[in-house]
Amino acid sequence: MRRMLVFVAVLALTFGACGGSDDSGGGADDGGGDSSSVSAGDAARGEEVFTKTCVSCHGEGGQGIEGLGKPMPGSAFITGLSDDELVEFIKVGRGTGDPDNTTGVDMPAKGGNPSLSEQDLVDVVVYIRTLG
C-alpha cells in the first residue's frame, strides 16, 4: 500500500512537471526568444495602423491638423520617450483633463480604437520613428 502511494506521488509530480513545461514551451514558440509574444515592429504595418486610426487627427505623415492632433515630426516629447514608453503613452492617451495636455483637445486612448493590439502599437511606434 505504501509503495502504491509513492507511485501515485511520483506520477503526480511527473504530470505536474509536464504541465509546467508545456506552458512555457508555448510561450517560447510565440515569443521567438523574447519573453512577450510581440515581435519587433514593422513600419509598413505601422503605416496601415496610422492610416486607419491616427491620420484623422494627426494628418498625412503625422504633420498634425490644427485643432485636432499635434504634429509628430520633431516632437521633443516623442523623441524623449523610448519605444516602450511611447506604446504605453498611446495606450493611455492624453485627455483634456490631463495637466500635460497642451491643446485642449483629447488624445484618446489608443487613438480611440480599442481594438488595436499590442503588436499594432509597436508597429505604429516604428512608423512614427520614420517620420523624423
Contact residue for ligand HEC among 41, 47, 69, 87 (CB under 6 A): 69
Q: How far apart are CA 25 and CA 98, in angstroms?
A: 42
Cβ-contact 78, 128 below 8 angstroms: yes
- Least spacing, CB of residue 32 vs ligand HEC, in Å: 24
CB nearer to ligand HEC: pick between 6 and 98: 98
- Biggest CA–CA distance in the chain, Å, is 81
| Stretch 46-65 residues interacting with ligand HEC (CB under 6 A) | 53-54, 56-58
Contact residue for ligand HEC among 109, 112, 119, 129 (CB under 6 A): 112
Which range of residues in 11-19, 23-31, 37-45, 86-94 is near ligand HEC by CB under 6 A? 86-94
Burial (CB count <10 Å: 0-12, 13-18, 19+), residue 125: buried
Q: Which three cell numbers stand for residue 123?
A: 508597429
